[in-house]
Chains A and B, each alone.
Chain A
Amino acid sequence: MKPVRKIGLLLLLMTFILAACGDSGSDSQTADQSGGKSSGEKVKLSIWHNFAGDDLRAKTVRGIIEQFAKDNPDIELDAQAIPPDGYRQRLSTVAAGNELPNIFFVYAGSHSAEMYKAGLLQPVTEIAEQHKDWKEKFLPGAFDPYEFEDNQIYTAPIGMSATSILYYNTALFQKYNVKVPETWDELMTAVKVFNENKLTPIALGNKAPWVAQSTILGTLADHVTGTEWFRNAAAQKDAKFTDPQFVEALGYFKQLVDNKAFQDGANSIDNTQAEQYFIQGNAAMMISGAWTLTNLAASASEEQLKDIDVTVMPSIPGGKGEAKTISGGAGGGMALSKRTEGATKEAALKLIYAISGPEAQKAIAESNSMVMYDTDIDQSKVSSLYYKAFNLVKKTAITPVYDAYLTADAAEVINNGLQEIMTGASPESIAKKLQDAQARSITP
């Protein structure tokens, strides 16, 4: 009877597995759809974010959420910190299955725009009605990426991406007697001098290809074309990316490449590696975003940091844009899923306010991470470099980041286009590719 026993065993195993799969069911999966206020029952609320790591900001945000859970025992909070590497993939997949949590973190730009277009979001404007001063304290333009409809706010931003701060090593500038560049010519002189002394002028880690676009092109192009032109070109109204001013802007980027401003192989090095290359004194400058402050605070010594200072990118001769600006804007924020209703929605709005309100914004700002919110920070709580940068950004005008206004498709094209320019492509050809992509993907 042995064969029978074998089959039996096999079937038993299979039923066991299938049963194990069945019973725990998917009840814990994401949102509670009913949302109604069944008496005495706890309100179920789910939130997904990607503040999963060990850095100060992630810990701060997690702390705020935990505190909220403690303060609201009547809410059953399911908070998920998802590894950032897989965050988009996870969110896209569950969105396809209409299984989004009540609250989730979205990125500014095409990520949130596509979510909105697919009808997955609902406005959080009510928070502004409940807390009058909440909205006013946001810096100008904070809601720009999230104002999909007039007078409606679709996301509460909890970060600011200042993407093009010029970091420089004061020791190296002194040693080689170079002036910190304020104009394009001075920058090119600096590039020449550092190259002659076998130092990399500007460290760049462009393996993830958005880096050069976000940190360099945005501000460079804005200086040449002016903000107005870019907004028009992004909307494909009265301006095109093939216009001569944009080709000229790409030309400036090509000048940097041709004059060997970046180290060899910049396209195969990631941002963290480039930061380390810079902080170790191998490069005199680095053009990077506010995230570099967070990264350096975690991985560089005080001794290394004391030589580093920050400023804005140099002006362009005859440029139509304002000089001395930094590209940036609202970073990601907390969005509310369309399906959230009733008591769950009330609780959700409360949590969003807790994460994006004045106290939370201050706490986030004091975790070496910039916010789009009018708040004062305690100097003793942050790194000295961050404090310098915080004040620099506070007094500087902000211009748009390219990928926050381009479609996902077009952003992909210009990101790769800059890499192509770094390997020899002409500005004209890249301008044309970008124009084609934006024109193609903006029409519904």
Chain B
Amino acid sequence: MELTTAASRKKEGRGWAWKGLSGFGKLLLTAYAVLTLYPLYWLFISAFKTNEDFFRHPYALPHVWMKENISRAWELGKMGRAMMNSTLVTVAAVILTLLLGILAGYVLSRFEFKLKKLVMGLFLVGLLIPIHSTLVPLFLMMKKIGLLDTYGALILPYTAFELPITIFLAIGFMASIPREIEEAAMIDGSGWWRIFGRIIFPLCTPIVATISILAFLRFWNDFSFALVFINSQSLKTLPLSLSLFSDGFGTDYSLTMGAMAIAVIPTIIIYLILQDQIMKGMVAGSIKG
């Protein structure tokens, strides 16, 4: 049984795609794609404009290509260091989120136990809270345990706030993995850890990639936590560099756009890499157990 499932899974479920997009459909999709890609294009052309040019010809190509915008934004925003910090914090938090979240999601999707409803309810509550209302309590608490102004002051809350989404996505995904696979492994005498690590986790590649993308974006772009929980210049993350050039009375758009163009490149790369993982579906050898 599990063999046929595995074999058919290898086809990546493409049978579900709607076959034969008509020419009109393709045209429609292309138009939609242009609409969604335009802001990216706009960001990059705006990043090379002078302020005057930006306002005078908001949609045109730069009159003069201002490469200085990028280098000045990089320097002024201390973006080199910020990029390093953002990478470190984001990667650590994504890994932690995946490890804790998928494991918890697996338990909650497959086992029945006394406090399950309560645990699910708690995680659901976590989805509902706007993060800004937790700033002050979190600040006070982290001050007490001496966590402020460390990488941990970002990594741990990021992970904690991302866990509910991760867990619910994992549960939703695992619901469609047939239980027969585990039952077969059980008979082979595999323990739960082995089943999770050898069978379930590899089967989850698409959702792992999805969760990674969502988590990455949220951590990479977070402004509020980074603003409040970090004090040392040497620990500051990218979003703080992006908002340096606006003072409430006016905004230096050329530098702001320059900084944003720099910050968006890693996210695009990460997305493109992970997108392939989503489409890979099940890894071929995963069923070997």
Residues of A within 8 A of B (CB): 2-3, 6-7, 10, 13, 17-18, 20-22, 24-26, 28-30, 50, 52-55, 58, 80-86, 89-90, 93-94, 96-97, 99, 208, 270-273, 275-276, 280, 289, 291-292, 294-295, 298-301, 304
Which residues B236-289 have CB closer than 8 A to chain A? 240, 243-253, 255
Q: Is B96 an interface residue (CB 8 A)?
A: yes
The answer to whether A29 and B252 have CB atoms under 8 Å apart is no
List B contacts of A291 (CB < 8 A).
Answer: 249-250
The answer to whether A89 and B248 have CB atoms under 8 Å apart is no
Q: Is B61 an interface residue (CB 8 A)?
A: no
Q: Is B232 an interface residue (CB 8 A)?
A: yes
Binds A, one of B119-127, B139-147, B169-177: B139-147
The answer to whether A294 and B143 have CB atoms under 8 Å apart is no
Q: Is B72 an interface residue (CB 8 A)?
A: yes
Binds A, one of B8-16, B28-36, B189-197, B204-212: B189-197
Q: Which residue of B lies closest to A21 (CB)?
A: B152
Residue from the set B72, B136, B150 with the largest chain A CB neighbour count within 10 Å = B150
Question: Within the complex, which residue of A10, A17, A96 is in contact with B139, where a contact is CB–CB below 8 Å?
Answer: A96
CA distance A422 to B113 in the complex (A): 60
The answer to whether A3 and B193 have CB atoms under 8 Å apart is yes
Chain B interface extent, by class: 35 or more
List B contacts of A6 (CB < 8 A).
Answer: 193, 197
Nearest first, the 7 A-B pairs at minimum CB distance are A21-B152, A3-B193, A295-B250, A299-B51, A291-B249, A276-B55, A83-B243
The answer to whether B247 and A273 have CB atoms under 8 Å apart is no
The answer to whether B249 and A295 have CB atoms under 8 Å apart is yes
| Minimum CB–CB distance for A89 against chain B, Å | 7
The answer to whether A280 and B250 have CB atoms under 8 Å apart is no
Known A13-B99, A83-B240, A273-B55: A54·B252 in contact at CB below 8 Å: yes
Known A93-B136, A93-B228, A94-B139: A18·B152 in contact at CB below 8 Å: yes
CA distance A18 to B52 in the complex (A): 49
The answer to whether B252 and A96 have CB atoms under 8 Å apart is no
Residue from the set B99, B223, B250, B253 with the largest chain A CB neighbour count within 10 Å = B250
Question: Within the complex, which residue of A55, A89, A97 is in contact with B247, where a contact is CB–CB below 8 Å?
Answer: A55
| Minimum CB–CB distance for B142 against chain A, Å | 8
Question: Within the complex, which residue of A3, A94, A99 is in contact with B194, where a contact is CB–CB below 8 Å?
Answer: A3
Q: Is B149 an interface residue (CB 8 A)?
A: yes
Main secondary structure of the interface of B (DSSP, over half): helix
The number of A-B residue pairs with CB atoms under 8 Å apart is 144
CA distance A49 to B76 in the complex (A): 16
CA distance A25 to B144 in the complex (A): 11
Q: Is B220 an interface residue (CB 8 A)?
A: no
CA distance A210 to B202 in the complex (A): 55
The answer to whether A26 and B227 have CB atoms under 8 Å apart is no
The answer to whether B55 and A299 have CB atoms under 8 Å apart is yes
Q: Which residue of B lies closest to A273 (CB)?
A: B55
The answer to whether A54 and B197 have CB atoms under 8 Å apart is no
CA distance A289 to B250 in the complex (A): 11
Q: Which residue of A lies closest to B140 (CB)?
A: A97
CA distance A291 to B252 in the complex (A): 13
Q: Is B233 an interface residue (CB 8 A)?
A: yes
The answer to whether B149 and A24 have CB atoms under 8 Å apart is yes
Q: Which residue of B lies closest to A275 (CB)?
A: B250
List A contacts of B250 (CB < 8 A).
Answer: 271-272, 275, 291-292, 294-295, 298-299
List A contacts of B52 (CB < 8 A).
Answer: 299-301, 304
CA distance A3 to B196 in the complex (A): 9
